[in-house]
Amino acid sequence: MDIQKKIEELGLFLPACPKPLASYVPANRIDNLIYVSGQLPSIKGDLGSYVGSVPSSMSPEVAARAAGLCLLNSIAAAMSVLQPGETLKLVQMQGFIQSDPDFHEQAAILNGASNLAVKIFERNGYHARTAVGVSSLPKNAVVELSCIFQVIADESKFTGRNDWLL
At residue 19, the pLDDT reads: 85
> Mind listing the pLDDT tens digit for each residue in 39-70?
999 998 899 999 999 999 999 999 999 999 99
Domains of the chain, CATH where assigned: 3-157 (3.30.1330.40)
3-state SS, the chain, equals: CCHHHHHHHCCCCCCCCCCCCCCCCCEEEECCEEEEEEECCCECCECCCCECCECCCCCHHHHHHHHHHHHHHHHHHHHCCCCCCCEEEEEEEEEEEEECCCCCCHHHHHHHHHHHHHHHHHHHHCCEEEEEEECCCHHHECEEEEEEEEEECCHHHCCCCCHHHC
> Mind listing the pLDDT tens digit for each residue in 110-127?
999 999 999 999 999 999
